[in-house]
Amino acid sequence: MKFYQKDIETMPVDEIKALQSEKLVKQIKHVYDNVPYYRNLMDEKGVKPEDIHGIEDLHKLPFITKGDLRETYPYGMLAVPLSECVRIQSTSGTTGKRVIAYYTQNDINLWEDCCARAIVAAGGTKDDVCQVAYGYGLFTGGPGLNGGSHKVGCLTVPMSSGNTERQIQFMLDLKSSIICCTPSYAAYIGETLKEMGYKPEDNFLKAGIFGAEPWTEEMRRDIEKSLGIKAYDIYGLTEISGPGVSFECEEQTGMHINEDHFLPEIIDPDTGEVLPEGTPGELVFTCLDKEAFPVIRYRTRDICVLSRKKCSCGRTHIKMLKPSGRSDDMMIIRGVNVFPSQIETVLIKEGYSPNYQIVVDRVNNTDTIDVNVEISPEHFDDTVKAITQKEKQLESALRDMLGIGPKVHLVSPKSIARSEGKAVRVIDKRKLH
Ligand code: ADP
Ligand code: ZN
């Protein structure tokens, strides 16, 4: 089994575009008729549903931002009667007040199809045992992959996140072959396996499907080594449905966007202007099929690049490269833009574990940046001199990457809290002053 929905996943690009156009025209009418908040935005911009003939007219429509969703909380964006909805999910609240998304049964169905496509792309079949170690509950990770795993016909192990030793016990006893969780939790499971005395080849896992937070290629290789698997990226957000908005195939050169359901654009985050394919910018999505909570031109604040380069897997859907981070993750330190992912790349390249924390502060009107990294257990007993030398070496590697010099502190193994969901990498104390 190579595809979950072959006809759609390998559809010629001009047919996909025609399908998107047809769906967009219907969707805009649905939203205009049923969501007064968006109707007002369209009226203010002087655009009517009749002006939208296809995807070429998309740029005429107003954007929706997280601010709009917070303003209309809890029911303002609903496009069907509440009695038609069967579920809510909510964002993790990583960057502020949570947003609630609503689903009809059909919305759930399509979302689970997207997750099933991702599982099949990672090599999943009905013979696999799929352990879902994303959190269950309001967070979309657990329920989304759970539904996808059922659709593929895997034996689904709904572990949720946490209780890591029990997680590992089930993984070994049930011979789990696929694991789904955040990359930071996957790293923690790998670390715990080792501590429990297991080697990577002692487990039965072949693939992992990891997402919901940014992670670097260096972290991917680290996880692949510690679990003895191939690690696949999956992307999504609650506002658009959840995980499975896009997913990696075996080629692993970006994630195919399920563009029969989600129409992507890249815009300049400052001007809102649509940028040509291949240019980095803010990712924007329009939901083409969603009934209950169909956001139009939703600004994700995730920064990435789209590419329609032909893929060896046979899928024709456009790819997005790994998001380099959210525009609101970006730290401005003494006027220089710094992403946590740049720091992670250097740390892992220099042989450290992905357990780190970045502390930003302002002292005497100057920004400071401190990076706390765990020293490996083998080096824990090194002399103070040797440790100071390691810190200096890391500081210099970070300075080369970032253009500014952070202060590095090597801290004792296990002293930085492990994450079972999305890791908190940055503590910005400047906001507290
Ligand atoms: P919140 O925005 O509160 O964290 P969600 O749980 O819906 O709520 O998270 C969606 C966000 O998670 C995305 O907008 C993106 O920033 C991040 N994300 C999800 N998957 C990935 C991934 N594979 N790579 C990088 N970032 C991701
Ligand atoms: Zn592909």
- Tokens for 211, please give them: 């997402």
Give the residue, 8 or 96, on which the prediction is more confident: 8
Query: What pLDDT, on a 0 to 100 scale, did the predictor assign at position 280?
Result: 95
pLDDT band at 91 (very low <50, low <70, confident <90, very high): confident
Across all residues in the chain, what is the average pLDDT?
Answer: 95
- Ligand 1 mutation target, pool 213, 287, 326, most atoms within 8 A of CB: 213
Half-sphere exposure of 409 (CA within 13 A, CB side): 11
Residue with tokens 């016990």: 169
Return the closest-CA partner of residue 209 out of 297, 146, 263: 146
Q: How far is the CA of 56 from the centre of ligand 2 (A)?
A: 25
E strands, 258-354, are: 262-267, 281-287, 298-304, 306-307, 319-320, 325-326, 331-333, 336-338
Distance CA 62, CA 72 (A): 16
Q: Can you tell me whether residue 44 is helix, strand or coil?
A: helix
Query: What pLDDT, on a 0 to 100 scale, did the predictor assign at position 365?
Result: 87
- Tokens for 24, please give them: 């967009």
Q: How far is CA 61 from CA 54, 262, 370, 430, in A?
A: 12, 16, 43, 37
Atom of ligand 1 nearest to the CA of 234: 23
Query: What pLDDT, on a 0 to 100 scale, did the predictor assign at position 389?
Result: 95
- Ligand 1 mutation target, pool 217, 235, 283, 284, most atoms within 8 A of CB: 235
Collect all residues with Cβ–Cβ distance below 8 Å to 262 and sequence separation of at least 6.
Answer: 240, 241, 245, 285, 286, 287, 288
pLDDT at 330 over 90: no
The answer to whether 47 and 23 have CB atoms below 8 angstroms apart is no
pLDDT band at 130 (very low <50, low <70, confident <90, very high): very high
Query: What pLDDT, on a 0 to 100 scale, did the predictor assign at position 119?
Result: 98
pLDDT in tens, 291-303: 999 999 999 999 9
Residue with tokens 């240019």: 279
Query: What residue ranges define each of the domains in the chain, with the CATH number in brackets?
Result: 1-328 (3.40.50.12780), 331-428 (3.30.300.30)
- 87-96, 230-239, 293-302, 353-362: the lowest-pLDDT one: 87-96
Return the closest-CA partner of residue 89 out of 145, 158, 170: 145
The answer to whether 123 and 330 have CB atoms below 8 angstroms apart is no
Q: How far is the CA of 266 from the centre of ligand 2 (A)?
A: 20
Residue with tokens 């449905």: 241
The DSSP letter of residue 274 is: B
Nearest protein CA to atom 12 of ligand 1, as residue = 212
pLDDT at 68 over 70: yes
Query: What pLDDT, on a 0 to 100 scale, did the predictor assign at position 433?
Result: 55
Ligand nearest to the CA of 211: 1
Question: Residues 317-324: what's their mean pLDDT?
Answer: 93
pLDDT in tens, 388-420: 999 999 999 999 999 999 999 999 999 999 999
pLDDT in tens, 207-233: 999 999 999 999 999 999 999 999 999
Q: How far is the CA of 310 from the centre of ligand 2 (A)?
A: 8
Query: What pLDDT, on a 0 to 100 scale, did the predictor assign at position 331?
Result: 87
Q: Can you tell me whether residue 47 is helix, strand or coil?
A: coil
Name the helix (H) or strand (E) containing 37. helix 36-45
Question: Residues 187-206: what's their mean pLDDT?
Answer: 96
pLDDT at 200 over 90: yes
Instruction: For the chain, give the percent of residues with pLDDT over 70.
Output: 98
pLDDT in tens, 421-432: 999 899 989 865
pLDDT band at 136 (very low <50, low <70, confident <90, very high): very high
Give the residue, 380 or 243, on which the prediction is more confident: 243
pLDDT in tens, 139-177: 999 999 999 999 999 999 999 999 999 999 999 999 999
Query: What pLDDT, on a 0 to 100 scale, did the predictor assign at position 139?
Result: 95
Ligand 1 cavity residues, CB under 6 Å: 91-95, 211-214, 233-238, 300, 302, 322-323, 326
Distance CA 39, CA 59 (A): 16
The answer to whether 144 and 180 have CB atoms below 8 angstroms apart is no
Query: What pLDDT, on a 0 to 100 scale, did the predictor assign at position 380?
Result: 85
Query: What pLDDT, on a 0 to 100 scale, did the predictor assign at position 92?
Result: 76
User: What residues flank ion ligand 2 with Cβ within 5 A?
Assistant: 249, 251, 311, 313, 315
